[in-house]
Chains A and B, each alone.
Chain A
Amino acid sequence: MSGETVILRAEGIARKFGSLEVARDISLALPVGARHALIGPNGAGKTTLINLITGSLKPDAGRITLDGQDVTALAAAERVRRGLTRTFQINTLFPGLTPIESVLLAVCERKREAGQFWRRLTSHAEAVDEAFAILRQLHLEEVATRETRHLAYGQQRLLEIALALATRPKVLLLDEPAAGVPKDESAALFSVIAALPADMAVLFIEHDMNLVFKFASRITVLVSGAVLVEAEPEAIRADPRVREVYLGSVGDQHAELRR
């Protein structure tokens, strides 16, 4: 891994909820263009780690650097402005807005144009074009003007990603992008993720091992708030400790792991 530029680095991240350690000395480094999977049994602290990295939660200890700059003390919105963006496991969208409005809002925020109350929305021509291009990229152009609450669930999952892309992230953290999506559709969703720009580092949480092994070039296994192992997919597949964790908790995932 030498030679590759690290874009996101988390060092010694720790966090306690009362006496429960939800993150224990977690370190992680994503090079530019990474496709990194974060796996582990339920309650391992995967979403918590994303919350800690993106600033939704404050770590008790540890340091997060983005593109060489320490962002540990920055608010979530400020991290997004610097290129560290996430999506949510549970849809966190604007139900009463249409996809074009939602993505346009995100684009305007990125361009620092969202506070301009004296300009007509349609005068932000570049932003409108860009928002529509993002929707097209995610196959949402047909439903661009339909209220988000009326979209099919799979389309809402895509909109989650569209909103994140509008911030032009250098690092994108996807919290179970295919959560709740039927198996046949989740492959299509991951093909969208696979088509993301090659210089964007992507960290994703996913339970379907087939998708993990197909799309990840590196995998971190998290157990009880700590990193069990981090390695390339082949090594993870062969690792007896990983098998044990999955056998101990969820049997059928163990079967998938062997395939």
Chain B
Amino acid sequence: MRTERAISGPAATWLKKRNRISTVEIAFWLTTLLPFVLFPSYLSLASQIAIAALFALSVDLVLGYAGIITLGHAMFFGLGAYAAAVLAKHGWGEPLTGLLAAALIAGVAGFVTSFIIVRVQHLALIMITLGLGLLTYELANSFSSITGGTDGLSVEIWPVLGIFDFDLWGYTAYGYALAALFIGVLAARRIVNSSFGLALTGIRENSARMPAIGSVYRVHLQKIYVISASMAGVAGALLAETTGTVSLDTLSFQRSADVVVMLILGGTGRLYGGIIGAIIFLVARDRLSDLNPQYWYFWIGLLLMAIVLVMPGGVLGGLARLFQRNAK
């Protein structure tokens, strides 16, 4: 069935080149190793960033590629966080199985809700995702025997691979989160560079044409929604495992909104937009809350408006345009 024979011709060459790993990408991943040696006191911030970046990447898959606007993705992030934490609370603190359980539970939740999600668009879609998010938050709040309610849960996580203990400095935490982010990016990269990724872009570009080329595109949307939900769940589990705690805050509307802000700051539909956005957002929060802990969202609001007005494609979109102009 599978044909792996080499394709040729100028169009084929172009298709191959389209997805080539660039030197900028390699340089970027090397840079992510710097906190280990240069800023060891910021390792916990760095792992927060890696986790937020994975979460933003999961949102990029649905928002940036498939055009599904969501304001309730914390639902999956939180479900993942609680899945890992509850598992650990019941005596199984093995981190990798925790991630797996999180992916599974968030994925199932994603599958169930996807039937509603693909039937609505625009404002209704935003409201549905928002509603589902609020619903999950209050459910977690009321099932306090499982979730710990407003107190949350505090859990014991075993060493990663049985070797690396979660240390106070956060070496293991950052290494663990970074590895997960790297694998997440590789997976997302494969997905967006497949025929499936092309179909998602087609839906975003012009969903009206999709039926006319014989595409039952709701199935595509459901599929990416489940994948994205799983990834968000893994990000949530990473947070629970690296901090050893989980609270209702992982399910909050604020988290759903923040991740969209990060993605838009960095640039949607570009894989790395979420990562760049997470860096800007969390570093800004870290610096600004030092200066003024109460009003730091003022500056985030200002930054968001400035970027949307000056660089509609986010930071990466702006850089890409600059680069193209110079290349001409």
Contacts and interface: CB of A to CB of B under 8 A. Distances in A.
Interface of A: 54-56, 75-78, 80-81, 85-88, 92-98, 100-102, 104-106, 108-110, 113-129, 131-132, 135, 141, 144-145, 163-164, 166-167
Interface string B245-270: 00000000000000000000000000
Q: In this complex, which of A55, A75, A131, A144 has the most chain B Cβ atoms within 10 angstroms of its Cβ?
A: A144
B214 A167 contact: yes
B269 to A, nearest CB: 9
Contacts of B7: 122, 125, 128-129
Interface residues of B, number: 42
A96 B203 CA distance: 11
Contacts of A95: 205-206
Given A115-B219, A117-B227, A132-B11, A125 B194 contact: no
Given A86-B212, A122-B7, A129-B7, A145 B195 contact: no
Given A105-B202, A106-B214, A122 B12 contact: yes
A121 B212 contact: no
A90 to B, nearest CB: 10
A125 B227 contact: no
B150 interface: no
Nearest to B191: A117
B15 A77 contact: no
Given A76-B212, A106-B214, A96 B16 contact: no
B17 to A, nearest CB: 9
Interface string B122-144: 00000000000000000000000
Contacts of B89: none
Nearest to B12: A128
B201 A96 contact: yes
B196 interface: yes
Nearest to B227: A117
Nearest to B195: A108
Contacts of B208: 92
B14 A145 contact: yes
Dominant SS among interface residues on chain B: helix
A80 B214 CA distance: 5
Interface in B188-241: 190-191, 193-199, 201-202, 205-206, 208-217, 219-220, 223, 227
Contact of A166 (B9, B197, B202, B213): B213
Contacts of A86: 212
B206 A78 contact: no
A141 B14 CA distance: 12
A-B residue pairs, 8 tightest by C-beta: A80-B214, A117-B196, A94-B205, A106-B213, A77-B211, A76-B211, A108-B195, A145-B14
Contacts of A113: 195
Interface in B1-36: 2-7, 9-12, 14-16, 18-19
A135 B213 CA distance: 16
Q: In this complex, which of B2, B15, B197 has the most chain A Cβ atoms within 10 angstroms of its Cβ?
A: B15
A190 to B, nearest CB: 21
A52 B244 CA distance: 59
Given A76-B211, A114-B220, A97 B202 contact: yes
